[in-house]
Homo-oligomer: A and B are copies of this chain.
Amino acid sequence: MYQVLKESFQEHVSLTDEQWEMCKKKFRPKRMLKRQFLLQEGDVCRELAFVEKGSLYSYSVDSKGNQHVIRFAFEGWWMANLQSFFTRKPTNLNIEVLEDSELLVLDSKNHEKLLEEIPAYERYHRIILQNAYVALQQRVENALGLTAEEKYNRLIEQNPEFMNRVPLNLVASYLGISPETLSRVRGQFSS
């Protein structure tokens, strides 16, 4: 159950066996079913979730009731609403389970403890945040500067398995284009 988390740590930092055991103990396994909510608008985000298996996605709902997909998380990715997690204010996002999932969750107190006690854990989070920031800025740049065709192209280049695992309406929302435009773009690619 902890294999993917261990690999994620090993990719970025060196933990001794003892440090790994200390980390591991702080996480709580959580199984969730498709369509369940890890977080709902109005709740405070009290836990960081690491995806061992399955997938999740986060979205906001605007004043007209339109859903806007913010991001997805597959195996080896973290998911949370960091704003709510750090400020302890209610979130304006929802996090829903896309495929039956096995998560490892970590509450704020345990996260702080690990940051205090294990410098390599803090380094790991600094690197994860760095990568997350770069990916999010890339998304902003793509949203602003690319055509629908280019956005779709970029997405399937970077995440080839994405199209098999994510329903088309969510892909369209994530790309900020209409489902009709997505169908048209996909039609061009397959013809």
Contacts and interface: CB of A to CB of B under 8 A. Distances in A.
B145 A68 contact: yes
Query: What band does the interface of chain A fall in when counting residues whose beta carbon is under 8 Å from B?
Result: 35 or more
A140 B70 contact: yes
A122 B121 CA distance: 11
Given A123-B122, A126-B129, A141 B82 contact: no
Contact residues of A: prevailing secondary structure: helix
A134 B132 CA distance: 11
A68 B140 CA distance: 10
Interface string A172-184: 0000100000000
A10 interface: no
A137 interface: yes
Contacts of A134: 82-83, 86
A1 interface: no
Contacts of A145: 60-63, 66, 68
Contacts of A146: 62
A82 B126 contact: no
A143 interface: yes
A138 interface: yes
A145 B60 CA distance: 7
A125 to B, nearest CB: 6
A143 to B, nearest CB: 7
Interface of A: 60-63, 66, 68, 70, 82-83, 86, 92-93, 115, 119, 122-123, 125-126, 129-130, 132-134, 136-141, 143-147, 176
The 8 closest A-B pairs by CB, nearest first: A62-B145, A68-B144, A129-B129, A126-B126, A83-B134, A133-B133, A60-B145, A136-B136
Given A60-B145, A122-B126, 7 more contacts: A62-B145, A70-B140, A82-B134, A122-B122, A126-B126, A129-B130, A140-B143
